[in-house]
Amino acid sequence: MVDFKIILSDPETGRSYKVDATGPAAGALIGKRVGDEIDGGILGLAGYTIKITGGTDKTGIPARRDLPGPARRRLLLSEGVGFHPVMDGERRRKSVRGNEISADFVQINAAVKTSGAKPLAEYFSQPEAAAE
């Protein structure tokens, strides 16, 4: 089975959290597209709605929202995800991945659209070390 690292951004607090998706949670993400909204319950975040904002594959190649399918392609880019020009009018051929999440993805970037009753900090708080 496939495993994903999900970087979940909370726009209310400006913090990001890492969620490891394995098993059925990872399987539920395969086939989704960048820009889709998913229920946070599959990640253990009851009441949350999460929007997929991007991702990268196993070699670090980013996913573009405007490129359909899961395949990797070499495109001539002038701006946007995958290429940031230094000079005016600069274009370069770069490898980018389509917007559909597949088993080749390693990291998925996401943002909270609607919050649940419990704040995210409570889900991800580190337990206090026992005083010796």
Q: How far apart are CA 5 and CA 1, in angstroms?
A: 14
Q: For residue 17, is pLDDT > 60? A: yes
57 pairs with which residues across the strands? Answer: 105
- Over range 6-25, report the average pLDDT: 93
In terms of Cβ atoms closer than 10 Å to its own Cβ (0-12, 13-18, 19+), residue 40 is buried
Q: How does pLDDT run across 31-76, given as a tens digit for each residue?
A: 999 999 999 999 989 899 999 999 999 999 999 999 999 999 999 9
Looking at residue 116, its pLDDT comes to 87
- For residues 75-100, give the mean pLDDT: 95
**pLDDT at 128 (0 to 100):** 57
pTM as predicted: 0.87
Residues near 130 by Cβ (< 8 Å), separated by ≥ 6? none
